[in-house]
A and B are shown apart, each in its own frame.
Chain A
Amino acid sequence: SQELEQSPQSLIVQEGKNLTINCTSSKTLYGLYWYKQKYGEGLIFLMMLQKGGEEKSHEKITAKLDEKKQQSSLHITASQPSHAGIYLCGADPGNQFYFGTGTSLTVIP
């Protein structure tokens, strides 16, 4: 089965700072999803990356996919308290869609 390891496990940053979350797969990545979960709530779709080298941005969040390294990174620029939550990467859907271990982000105003 595919394992998705995220780092760091948790992150506390000052508002306005940049940050990066990484997701490393044990198997070849054919696509990678990023979701955000607010504490105790559902899963919000952020981005889907389909090809190696692909980079997507939405507002202040940028995600990249490095298929060779079997890795994806999520970068937040000038973080805000609204960015707080748990960030989850997910493998390409098939019979079984896996989530990463999760990164908990706290942004201190």
Chain B
Amino acid sequence: EPEVTQTPSHQVTQMGQEVILRCVPISNHLYFYWYRQILGQKVEFLVSFYNNEISEKSEIFDDQFSVERPDGSNFTLKIRSTKLEDSAMYFCASIRGVLREKLFFGSGTQLSVL
């Protein structure tokens, strides 16, 4: 079965540093998502992306966050100046269409901000 690939699997950074989390969605998919899960808490929606622009974003996705699809395959999440509370597991997901299809998730990037 096709897979969404995320790199790195673990990222440790100092507070205030910029981090870029990378995702390679499935090749014929059109919609892309980022989610995060703080340890012991719910999986939270961050942002959705379609046709090279943000479709929707949550309150969590403030000015410190940005997403980009720099080429035909990668989908990145950038955190400009990391805070301690950004420590979480970040999941990328993709789907081919919008309605009633399986949402494929990557295995996640565990971000630790020290």
A90/B48 in contact, CB under 8 A: no
Number of A residues whose C-beta is below 8 Å from B?
24
Q: What is the total number of residues of chain B having a CB less than 8 Å from a CB of chain A?
A: 28
User: Do A42 and B43 touch across chains, with their CB atoms under 8 A apart?
Assistant: no
Distance in angstroms between the alpha carbons of A31 and B43 in the assembled complex: 19
Determine whether the beta carbon of B91 is less than 8 Å from that of A42. yes
Could you count the A-B residue pairs with CB atoms below 8 Å apart for me: how many are there? 63
- Whether B45 and A96, one on each chain, are in contact in the complex, defined by CB atoms closer than 8 angstroms, is yes
Cα of A101 to Cα of B91 in the assembled complex, Å: 16
A interface: dominant SS: loop
Bound CA–CA A93/B108 (angstroms): 19
The smallest C-beta distance from A86 to any residue of chain B, in angstroms, reads: 9
Question: Which residues of B are interface residues toward A (Cβ below 8 A)?
Answer: 31, 33, 35, 42-45, 48, 50, 55-56, 58, 89, 91, 93, 95, 98-108, 110
